[in-house]
Amino acid sequence: MLDQAQDLLGATAAKRILVVEDEKDIADLVAVNLRQSGYESLDAASAEDALRILKLHKIDLLVLDVLLPQMNGFELCAQLKARPATSHIPIIVISALSAESERLRALNLGAEDYLVKPFSVRELVARARALLRRANGHQDANIVTRGDFHFDLVRGRLSVKGMPVALSPSEFRLLRYLAAHEGCIFTRQDLLDHLWGQGSSLGNGNIDVHIHRLRQKLEPDPGRPSYLHTVWGVGYRFVSESATA
């Protein structure tokens, strides 16, 4: 039995979980159960503390409360998912907010799971274990960053400068294609053929409409686009902020 326990600890000890919770009794309870399950547990009482810890330590998973002092959990989640260095870290949100809208908000910001207080700590540990097993070091391939643009290819989500931007599926595909070939100029027909297939009944004007909508959502000044450039007489190209800085 002792050998089996040591094997279990050896398999999970490298996994470090950060608990961001300002209620000390809850934080302590979660931490104790995580450690008993073989994980290393760190704690932070605020989003600001969490950001400092993330700069100092490799974190494999976050347990994140919503109602934190100053910056709340939703804001911290959005920041972390928008940063290449932390976007891969799975996040379990814990909150007394039980409305469906709150759950959806957390998931839309990129959180992987959501538990309503009061919750079973054993269930929390089980969900953490499942997320860590699922991640297994492969999540980075599904995250693409171009300058201020952060694409989650699995969920079809975009954030710009840390703020989520709601795009339709076709808008996301078009922008992602342009960003994947940053600086390249595409004719309207090129874009139609790639995104909707050759022989599509859609006209070139459909691309213009999509570009217009994207500019309205993304550009600080849609009349003077910084990202989605028109190349007159040819088509369009994407340039990230990092390329123009």
Distance CA 80, CA 201 (A): 41
pTM over 0.85: no
Burial of residue 232 (number of CB atoms within 10 Å: 0-12, 13-18, 19+): exposed
- Residue among 78, 67, 60 at smallest CA distance from 45: 67
Q: Are 234 and 240 in contact (CB under 8 A)?
A: no
Instruction: Give percent above pLDDT 90 in the chain.
Output: 45
Give the type of residue at 168: S
Q: Residue 8: what pLDDT?
A: 40
Q: Residue 50: what pLDDT?
A: 96
Q: Residue 201: what pLDDT?
A: 61
Residues 6+ apart with CB under 8 A from 204: 188, 189, 192
Domains (range + CATH), the chain: 2-137 (3.40.50.2300), 143-244 (1.10.10.10)
Distance CA 115, CA 131 (A): 14
Q: Residue 184: what pLDDT?
A: 87
Q: Are 111 and 141 in contact (CB under 8 A)?
A: no
Give the tens place of pLDDT for each residue, 116-143: 999 899 999 998 988 888 766 444 556 7
- Residue among 82, 5, 3, 60 at smallest CA distance from 36: 5
The pLDDT confidence band at residue 190, using thresholds 50, 70 and 90, is confident
DSSP state of 200: -
What the block records as the tokens of 81 is 């998912």
Give the tens place of pLDDT for each residue, 67-114: 999 899 999 999 998 887 888 899 999 999 888 888 888 888 888 889
Q: Residue 154: what pLDDT?
A: 73
Q: Is 11 helix (H, G, I), strand (E, B) or coil?
A: helix
What the block records as the tokens of 63 is 């347990």
Whether 214 has a pLDDT exceeding 90, the answer reads: yes
Instruction: Give percent above pLDDT 70 in the chain.
Output: 87
Give buried/exposed letters for 161-196 (b at 16+ CB in 10 A, else e): eeebbebeeebbbbbbbbbeebeeebebebbbeebb
Q: How many CA atoms lie within 13 A of 26 on its CB side?
A: 19
Count of beta carbons in the 10 Å neighbourhood of residue 35: 13
Q: Residue 10: what pLDDT?
A: 40
Distance CA 172, CA 131 (A): 26
Q: Residue 139: what pLDDT?
A: 47
Average pLDDT along the chain: 84
Distance CA 235, CA 191 (A): 9
